[in-house]
């Protein structure tokens, strides 16, 4: 994904066009990441119906994209955007960092580093966070002191200011697509030697520690695993190309759709973090065996469409349940009832898809980067107007209230073992050495950055000193 944006910086290289063409040709949804699919170049100037902003560019507030490789415009110094209610100047040029007119700085969560933060933090500037990706990419944001540094957020969590919760579900039609391989044919493939369950994962050292669970489950039920993690079967040669084996290539889709169940374990656990791992098998008419968002049921089409790992006390009990479903066509079919539109009874899901203002592969709607940018622009203009009114008559008009994010915008839990208690894990275990530490080191960084800001420090590299004194103070029990 990042590659695309670098190409964008070099010139108008349309690296997502290939995907867009394929999408039209096959009618399928193709993203590797939801972001690769967005057609930045095609977003024309759009002026919302409530925008009668007649100010010249010189008078507009500036919004600075700190992470320039996500700048959702053609490269250039600056661009005027006309949003739903007001207008702003947008730039990725860091020389405006300390300008009076720079009202807000937008950060991309995955790239956000405490030791590179724009300091000193000016009291008149807000910070805005865009983070649609996995919690594992930056645990700093999962700590209260970290997320509270931001005034506005767009994250996968519904509590965020500009929620991206259903970002991996392109449309209701995607969910309603007819089952790709009939149950009769799936039973045929079972008799021909396919396992009931598919696992396809090549990213193995992840905070959710999913392989430890799957390995245990494998002791009790047959699982065909084609990826690098827990591999026990070879991919056919025509799928060996890794881009084919992870995308929505038609042959790849046909290959995996023959399985009754797809193991769908997210790489990081967090409420409302759901990806294509969940929605793609449902699109194909396979039953996901899911673990990821603890609140996933809130978004499912009905209460009988996914097998939730958390509903089963042990992998063994889950395996027994899956074997039963494998033998019972009527029971298995109940999981696919949502393929009939009237069986989709979850209003939160239906409203969420209908009311979101950004679109996926939808030229009539802004993509969510431009959408969030406009959200921030309108909020800042609102705040500036309220400040002005307040300054004119402080007695009559209150100053706008400060607004900060909290754990309902991210707040992902400390990584825990995929199976069994943490005490039973060997101290040399890779997961143990990596993820719990990463989580706590991120807390140190968040506290260090908060300290830099509180002390009005201008040099972000002093972070390490501040962290050190925090750690020393903590050890002293203060």
Nearer to ligand NAG, 80 or 390 (CB): 390
Residues near ligand NAG (CB under 6 A): 120, 126, 148-149, 151, 303, 402-404, 456, 458
Residue nearest to ligand NAG (CB): 402
Nearer to ligand NAG, 1 or 404 (CB): 404
Nearer to ligand NAG, 47 or 388 (CB): 388
Q: Whole-number minimum distance, CB 423 to ligand NAG, in Å?
A: 34
Q: Whole-number minimum distance, CB 462 to ligand NAG, in Å?
A: 12
Q: Whole-number minimum distance, CB 308 to ligand NAG, in Å?
A: 11
Q: Whole-number minimum distance, CB 236 to ligand NAG, in Å?
A: 39
Q: Whole-number minimum distance, CB 153 to ligand NAG, in Å?
A: 11
Q: Whole-number minimum distance, CB 120 to ligand NAG, in Å?
A: 4
Nearer to ligand NAG, 148 or 190 (CB): 148
SS (H, E, C) the chain: CHHHHHHHHHCCCCCCHHHHHHHHHHCCCCCCCHHHHCCHHHCCCCCCCCCCCCCCHHHCCEEEECCHHHCCCCCCCEEEEECCCCEEEEECCHHHCCCCCEEEEEEEHHHCCHHHCCCCCCCCCEEEEEECCCHHHCHHHHCHHHHCCCCEEEECCCCCCCCCCCCCCCCHHHHHCCCCCCHHHHHHHHHCCCCCEEECCCCCCCCCCHHHHHHHHHCCCCEEECCCCCCCCCCCHHHCCCCCCCCCCHHHHHHHCCCCEEEEECCCCCCCCCCHHHHHHHHHCCEEEEECCCCHHHHCCCCCCCEEHHHCCCHHHHHHHHHHHHHCHHHHHHCCHHHCHHHCCCHHHHHHHHHCCCCCCCCCCCCHHHHHHHHHHHHHHHHHHHHHHHHHCCCCCCCCCCCCCCHHHCCCCCCCCCCCCHHHCCCCCHHHHHHHHHHHHHHHHHHHHHHHHHCCCCCHHHHHHHHHHHHHHHHCCC
Q: Whole-number minimum distance, CB 121 to ligand NAG, in Å?
A: 8
The sheet carrying 287-291 orders its strands as 223-225, 197-199, 261-265, 287-291, 307-308
Q: Whole-number minimum distance, CB 178 to ligand NAG, in Å?
A: 23
Q: Whole-number minimum distance, CB 448 to ligand NAG, in Å?
A: 15
Nearer to ligand NAG, 188 or 348 (CB): 348
Nearer to ligand NAG, 406 or 429 (CB): 406
Nearer to ligand NAG, 52 or 458 (CB): 458
């Amino acid at each position: 994904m990042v590659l695309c944006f670098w190409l964008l910086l070099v010139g108008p290289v349309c690296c997502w066009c290939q995907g867009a063409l394929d999408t039209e040709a096959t009618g399928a949804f193709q993203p590797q990441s939801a972001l690769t699919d967005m057609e930045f170049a095609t977003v024309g100037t759009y002026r919302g119906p409530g925008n009668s902003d007649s100010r010249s560019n010189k008078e507009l507030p500036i919004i600075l994209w700190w992470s320039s490789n996500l700048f959702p415009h053609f490269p250039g110094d600056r661009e005027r955007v006309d949003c739903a209610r007001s207008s702003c100047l947008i730039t990725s040029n860091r020389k405006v960092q300390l300008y009076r007119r720079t009202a807000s700085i937008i950060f991309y969560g995955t790239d956000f580093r405490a030791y590179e933060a724009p300091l000193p933090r000016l009291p008149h500037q807000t910070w805005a966070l865009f983070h649609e990706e996995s919690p594992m990419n930056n645990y700093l944001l999962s700590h209260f002191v970290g997320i509270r540094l931001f005034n506005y957020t767009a994250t996968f969590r519904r509590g965020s200011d500009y929620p991206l919760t259903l970002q991996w579900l392109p449309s209701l039609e995607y969910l309603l697509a007819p089952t790709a391989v009939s149950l009769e044919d799936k039973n045929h493939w079972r008799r021909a030697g396919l396992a009931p369950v598919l696992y396809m994962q090549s990213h193995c050292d992840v905070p959710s520690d999913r392989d430890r669970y799957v390995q245990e489950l494998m002791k009790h039920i047959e699982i065909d695993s084609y990826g690098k993690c827990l591999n026990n079967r070879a991919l056919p040669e025509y799928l060996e190309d890794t881009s084919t084996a992870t995308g929505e290539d038609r042959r790849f889709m046909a290959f995996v759709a023959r399985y009754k169940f797809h193991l769908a374990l997210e790489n990081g656990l967090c409420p409302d973090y759901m990806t294509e791992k969940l929605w793609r098998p449902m699109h194909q008419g396979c039953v996901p065996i899911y673990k990821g968002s603890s609140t996933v049921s809130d978004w499912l089409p009905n209460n009988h469409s996914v097998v939730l790992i958390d509903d089963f006390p042990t992998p063994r009990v889950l395996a027994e349940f899956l074997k039963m479903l494998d033998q019972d066509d009527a029971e298995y079919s109940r999981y696919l009832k949502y393929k009939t539109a009237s069986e989709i009874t979850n209003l939160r899901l239906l409203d969420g898809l209908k009311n979101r203002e950004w679109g996926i592969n939808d030229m009539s709607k802004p993509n969510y980067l431009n959408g969030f940018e406009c959200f921030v622009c309108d909020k800042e203009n609102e705040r500036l107007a309220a400040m002005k009114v307040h300054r004119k008559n402080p007695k009559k008009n209150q100053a706008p209230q400060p607004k900060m994010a909290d754990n309902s915008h991210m707040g992902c839990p400390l990584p825990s073992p995929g199976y069994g208690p943490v005490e039973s894990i060997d101290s040399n275990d890779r997961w143990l050495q990596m993820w719990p530490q990463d989580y706590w080191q991120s807390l140190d960084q968040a506290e260090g950055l908060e300290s830099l800001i509180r002390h009005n420090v201008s040099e972000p590299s002093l972070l390490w000193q501040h962290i050190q004194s925090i750690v020393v103070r903590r050890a002293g029990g203060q």
